[in-house]
Structure 1
Amino acid sequence: MPKITRELGPGDPVHLHVRAALDVRLAALRAHEPGTRSGEDAEDLHQMRVAVRRLRAMLKAARPFLDRETADGLRAELGWLGRALGPVRDLDVLIERLTTEAAHFPADERAAVDTLLAGLHAERDTARAALRKALDSRRYRRLLKALAAEAASTEPGPPVDTLAALSGLVRAEFARLARAVAKAGPEPEDEVLHALRIDGKRLRYTAELARPLLGKKIRVLLKATTDFQDLLGEHQDACVAQDRVRALLAAHGEVIDFDLAFVGGRLVEREEARRVSCRAGWWAVWDTLERTGRSVL
């Protein structure tokens, strides 16, 4: 089936806008697959994982305009792929974060950090082997084929006003996030902030779907949403880093080398400072996003 080669406008059906966006994200996924396989540049894995998340968010938001059984099936399979990509990416981020943090430590302390991180490197090797197996599987090839078929499909969607429909998708995600924030309150648990970050991503990815039609005002919303997501992402990274360092120390048993315990404590202390700083600033970032959303949607 032929792909859409012209620029779409407000007069084009919403399902064509959705499928064009799916095609762009599928192309990104495929473009970063070789680098993800080789592991030469961690950014390829990051971008492939982002493409998967954007595809899933688009398929969920656009369910009213696609065949729901097909969209839900694709989302489920993309969830499987995301779970294959996630462990390696998370370990890449954690190892780089802790290594960078320790770069200015004295030489003996850096050596202790290397010892501490040896377990993470081994864990990443195991996760990478599982990832390569997933990318070599028939299941993965079937998923790519199914995504390409949906992106190229000419199956008609429901007769709706395209601009209003896409705007409605963004408003629905914004309202969902606003309700979650209201329920969380200004001092939520760390796990709740992590959930809000995920909701923020869904808003961002849905807004990206509408960006070609909504123009400047949606770009303002995207900027505020990205700031919200980034701050909560830093908060989550700090929480994870603390927990993993503590677990690495615990794995050495009750009798532990002094240098190892010392550098582990330094790393935990720094991550705790970041966690506290992010918690102190997240409500102001949300306030900006809320005001932006209510003014443009």
Structure 2
Amino acid sequence: MKDDDRTHEIAALGDGAQAESTFAALAAPLVDEALAQNASIHAEASPESLHQLRVALRRLRSLWWAYRPLLDKTENTRQRALYRFLADAAGRTRDWDILLELLTNAKDESGASSYLHEVPASLHEARERALATSRETLINADIRSVLHDALARTSKELNTAPERHALQKFAAARVRVAEKALRKRMRKASRAKRADDESLHDVRKSGKRVRYLIEFFGPALAGTSHEHTLKHLKNMQQCFGELNDVIASVALLRENMHLFASEEEAHEALTFLKRRRKQRQREAVRLLKKA
């Protein structure tokens, strides 16, 4: 996601800033980013626009999670579920893009089987079908109205609440909660006798949440330098993201083995992905043990 002026706006609010009145300054740029990427998808649907839409929606989910203690629980849960639904709508096509990229790279690796010389056209056709479904889902969801309505409703709820919370104290508390959950999941994943994809996925999700919260609240986290933490989280996100990509590709390929010209070609592609998954699993576990 592109840089924006949120951190500057928060810093300008000073020590007396309130969590409630800061919400809109944090949420509005995310809504704008999601809508811009959604428009790009309808115009071109590049892999990058699909990825950036998912990122913006995930950040929105994390922001609503951060403000959960100040919001109606039922409505907050509904909003976060909606962002996940929209992200998943874009995600299915993005999963195809990742699978196609992995298989395209596979034919260039030494030792690759002759079966992987070309990615079957049927897989590209499946990607286009997934894209049509993604576009239709996002159009029917009326994402512009949905996001603007969510921003307006939540801002109103926060700004009319009878109680006020100092932004600095609120932000620090929510970051601590997220960091505690991350440490717990890292311990669980690192102590597993064998690589556990579900536990590693939980670490990835928790790491992203901590990173997003630190990026949201940056200047409000006074007296604490998070530069080193952010650098570590970005490295971890890169490693765990690559693992998640391969895991999703294995699952997607298994669902679509019939699209290959032959059983041998399908199994060769699956073998390559499984080998890559094991490699990524080892890298993720090593990173956890070094933390």
Offset, 1:14: 0.7
Q: How does 1:161-172 map to 2 (within 5 A)?
A: 161-172=166-177
CA contact (8 A) 1:13 1:162 kept: yes
Q: Which residue of 2 aligns with 1:60?
A: 65
Determine the C-alpha separation between the residues in 1 that align with 2:98 and 2:216.
27
Q: How does 1:12-31 map to 2 (within 5 A)?
A: 12-31=17-36
TM-score, structure 2 normalization: 0.81
Secondary structure of 1:11 counterpart:
coil
Residue segments in structure 1 that go unaligned for 5+ positions in a row: 288-297
Offset, 1:208: 1.8
Relative to structure 2, which stretch is displaced further, 161-170 or 16-25?
Answer: 16-25
Q: Which residue of 2 aligns with 1:228?
A: 236
| Equivalent position to 1:120, from 119, 123, 126 | 123
Which amino acid in structure 2 is aligned with residue 94 of structure 1? L
Determine the C-alpha separation between the residues in 2 that align with 1:172 and 1:190.
24
Which amino acid in structure 1 is aligned with residue 47 of structure 2? A
Asked if residue 189 in structure 1 is aligned to residue 193 in structure 2, the reply is no
Asked if residue 217 in structure 1 is aligned to residue 229 in structure 2, the reply is no
- Deviation string 1:53-79 (CA, Å, 9 cap, x unpaired) is 000111012112334444333222212
TM-score, structure 1 normalization: 0.79
Which amino acid in structure 1 is aligned with residue 125 of structure 2? A
Q: Which residue of 2 aligns with 1:155?
A: 159
Root mean square deviation of aligned Cα: 3.2
CA contact (8 A) 2:21 2:159 kept: no
% identical aligned pairs: 26
| Equivalent position to 1:238, from 233, 238, 246 | 246
| Equivalent position to 1:109, from 111, 114, 126 | 114
Q: Which residue of 1 aligns with 2:139?
A: 136
Determine the C-alpha separation between the residues in 1 that align with 2:144 and 2:219.
30
Which amino acid in structure 2 is aligned with residue 134 of structure 1? T
Which amino acid in structure 1 is aligned with residue 217 of structure 2? A
| Equivalent position to 1:74, from 52, 73, 79 | 79
Residue segments in structure 2 that go unaligned for 5+ positions in a row: 1-5
Secondary structure of 2:15 counterpart:
coil
Which amino acid in structure 2 is aligned with residue 240 of structure 1? A
Which amino acid in structure 1 is aligned with residue 149 of structure 2? A
Determine the C-alpha separation between the residues in 1 that align with 2:103 and 2:126.
15
Offset, 1:265: 6.4
